[in-house]
Structure 1
Amino acid sequence: MTDADERAPVAERAAVAERAARAGGRVAHDRFRSDIAVESKGEGDVVTEADRAAQRTVIESIRESFPADAVVGEEGDEAKAVPDEGAAWVIDPIDGTHNYVRDIRVWGTAVAAVVDGEPVAACTVCPALGDVYTADGDGAYRNGDPIAVSDVDDPLRATVDPTLWWGFDVRDEYANACAAIVRRFGDMRRFGAAQVTLPTVAAGGLEGTISNLRANPWDSVGGVFTVRQAGGRVTDLEGNRWRHDSTGLVASNGALHDEVLAAAREIEELD
């Protein structure tokens, strides 16, 4: 990679992220609600040829502009960790594959541009919902219109999502996450796709989302950046600024972050 590649303007990276996510999203949407074979990658994890085809398309689109950048992707042989130095792209071709294979429209194709370990641009395309979330150096947007986190500051008016997937060996933690939410907040949603959940926080549809787990970068980096650019706050379980290698993911509208963080900390403490 050249120094010029790393210094490419954020606006250029944002445009490429959106172009690539839209291209991958079209591939995935063309196969949605079709008779597509579903394979297991392990406990509770599934994949389809649509995931692989969409990722190939996303990478091809990125390579047109940034042929030497590192790529971090969920499928195949791509890197699985975000480098702390240099430029990289973080890809989830279909976040919410469980929804996808059950013909539920809540899924998205997510692409984030990262420089020296920090996201600088992101796009999540949700073709079946008709929404495109983008974030750049100036803000966050849905379908081109600026978005902002909600201003709700009363927990009893708030809705929070328990995000990521708890394995069968820690289902008590999944139950605790739900219990912590329903005890503290007005309502709960679970979308089953972190890269849709996080932009929904950014757009004010949720006041927060919590997990005690370490998120895969493709499930989180772009959405976290979108929340921050919309005025929200994202931390780990200790309340420190979230990074791609953090344990726990706590995103909120900011006004309720202490309450959302307290709920996340209860996940491993509730009886």
Structure 2
Amino acid sequence: MNNWAEIDKSAKEWVKEAGERIRSSFNTTLSIQTKSNPNDLVTNMDKETEQFFLEKIRNTYPDHFILGEEGQGHELASTDGIIWIIDPIDGTMNFVHQQRNFAISIGIYENGIGKIGLIYDVVHNELYHAVKGEGAYMNGIKLPDLKDVPISESILSLNATWVTENKRIDPNILAPLVRDVRGTRSYGSAAIEFAYVAAGRLDGYITLRLAPWDFAAGLVIIEEVGGLTTTLDGEKINLLDKNSILVASKSIHRAILSDYVKKQLKEDYDR
């Protein structure tokens, strides 16, 4: 039987230590490379931070699996066993350009079920954390369940790539939603946007093509405050693949799907 309290304690200690290492790097010169395209950045700190976690996990929990953004973990074909899903610096572009609005994100799963979620906003020293069934917290302060607010009073985080890159769904689907909400935001870090929804700073988050390390921690935390995360089609999230993401309180999630996404899809189909 796994001691999740012990695993949670270890993970928190390692996240805080990694955060201190990242803060200490602010006055040093970063080595910056690109991955899939010129805007897909990776720094030496991304790689060093992921390696830091890999060494800690392998030495302490050698039977656990690791899925990391920088590819230093395992190649996984299933969700069997205990898996640490790690983004050492979520929001690398913000880290490089702003030295803020980035986070360490760790989701720990057992046989596909989220057990622990940790999102650490390094600059603001805000640790959002949750253990399944025990509620969600920010720096030890319990987060209340998400409130039901009308669309007209909600603030949504929207990644603008849905306007230009969603080839399957017409971007006009979300245009009425943008007009109807109180305001929109984009922080450039999926982990922070998940955390802000959980904390009530945002009422929802919509984006395309997030990888597992972008959302793994957030899924656990959002569930503990009564929120719901699915694809933009309302389907279950695939833990080992890229997904579109719709995360919000259950009422806002339901309203967006029924009154905007599915309504527009039906209108397009009927034309």
**Aligned-residue identity in percent:** 25
Quick check: 1:103 aligned with 2:98?
yes
Q: Provide TM-score, normalisation by structure 1.
A: 0.85
Whichever of the two has the greater Rg, that structure is 2
- In the alignment, the residues of structure 1 paired with residue 85 and residue 44 of structure 2 have an alpha-carbon distance, to the nearest angstrom, of 19
Residue identity matched to 2:12:
E
Is 233-242 or 134-143 further displaced after alignment? 233-242
8 Å contact from structure 1 (residues 73, 80) kept in 2: no
Change (3 A) 1:180 1:247: farther
- In the alignment, the residues of structure 1 paired with residue 66 and residue 139 of structure 2 have an alpha-carbon distance, to the nearest angstrom, of 26
Change (3 A) 1:265 1:215: farther
Change (3 A) 1:37 1:56: same
The SS at the match of 1:248 is: strand
What count of residue pairs does the alignment treat as equivalent? 263
Q: State the partner residue of 2:34.
A: 40
Q: State the partner residue of 2:189.
A: 193
Is 142-151 or 188-197 further displaced after alignment? 142-151
Q: State the partner residue of 1:119.
A: 114
Is 61-70 or 47-56 further displaced after alignment? 61-70
8 Å contact from structure 1 (residues 94, 109) kept in 2: yes
Q: Deviations over 1:41-72 (max 9, x none)?
A: 12220000010111111222223421221100
- In the alignment, the residues of structure 1 paired with residue 49 and residue 209 of structure 2 have an alpha-carbon distance, to the nearest angstrom, of 25
Is 48-57 or 149-158 further displaced after alignment? 149-158
The SS at the match of 1:251 is: strand
Q: Could you tell me how far 1:190 is from its partner in structure 2? A: 0.4
- Structure 2 alignment gaps of length 5 or more: none
- In the alignment, the residues of structure 2 paired with residue 75 and residue 82 of structure 1 have an alpha-carbon distance, to the nearest angstrom, of 17
Q: Deviations over 1:96-120 (max 9, x none)?
A: 0010001241100111111001210
1:182 paired residue among 162, 178, 194: 178
Q: Could you tell me how far 1:26 is from its partner in structure 2? A: 2.1
Q: State the partner residue of 2:78.
A: 83
8 Å contact from structure 1 (residues 180, 266) kept in 2: no
The SS at the match of 2:229 is: strand
- In the alignment, the residues of structure 1 paired with residue 206 and residue 103 of structure 2 have an alpha-carbon distance, to the nearest angstrom, of 19
- Structure 1 alignment gaps of length 5 or more: 1-6
- In the alignment, the residues of structure 2 paired with residue 50 and residue 216 of structure 1 have an alpha-carbon distance, to the nearest angstrom, of 20
Q: State the partner residue of 1:4.
A: none
The SS at the match of 1:121 is: strand
1:23 paired residue among 10, 17, 20: 17
8 Å contact from structure 1 (residues 207, 253) kept in 2: yes
Cα RMSD of the aligned pairs, angstroms, is 2.9
Q: Which runs of 4+ in 1 moved over 6 A?
A: 171-175, 266-271
